Amino acid sequence: MYFSDSRISFDKNVMYRIWSVILTMFLLLIYLDIKLISINSSNTPDRKKQLRIFMLRVFAYAIIFVAFPMNLLVFDKGSSGELLSFSDKIILSSFVLVMLNALALIPYLAQRNIALFFKLKDVLIYNVGMVVCMLVLLYLGVSQYMAPAIAGLLSGFGFLKKMLDAWDHINEFFDIKDKRIHEMF
C-alpha cells in the first residue's frame, strides 16, 4: 500500500517527538539519581525529598513504558478487529501485556536506592505467571485482545496482597498515611 509523502512525514514527526519524550524522561531519571545521591549522603535523609523522587520516578517510568510501545504501534487500516492483520493483533496483545507487566515493574524500578518496598521475586512471579496464563489462553482460542487482559487479572490476584503490603510499608516509611497530597510533599 502506498502512502503519500505528507503521511510519511507526519509519521516521522510523531516518531521523533515520542523519542524526544523518552530521551527527556531518561535525562530526568539521571538527574533524579544524582539528586538522590546527595540526599542519601546526609546522616538523616529527608523523607519528603525521597518521596518526591520516588513519585517522579514512577511518573517517568510510566511515560517510558507507554511511549516506547506506542512508537512501535502503527495502525494504518483503522481500529476494527477485522481490518487488522494477524501481526498487528500480536503486536497489540504484546502491547497490552507490556502495560500490565509495567504495573509491577514500575514501582520496583522506582524504589532503587530509597528503600526495599517491592521484592524482585514477587515481580518476577507476577510477570512469568501472566505470560504463562496468556499463552494458555491463546492456546485455548481466546482472542489476542482479551488474553493479556484476562491473564493480567488472573495473575494479579496473588500479587495484589503483596502490593498492598508494599504500599503499607511505603506509607510507614514516608509517613504519609492519612495525609493530603500537599502535606505529603
pLDDT tens-digit readout, 28-51 = 999 999 998 898 888 888 888 888
Cell of 170: 511505603
Going from N- to C-terminal start, the domains of the chain cover 5-184
**Buried b / exposed e across 130-158, counting CB within 10 Å, b at 16+?**
beebbeebbeeebebeebbbbbbeebbee
Predicted pLDDT of residue 130: 81
pLDDT value of residue 74: 52
pLDDT score of 75 more than 60: no
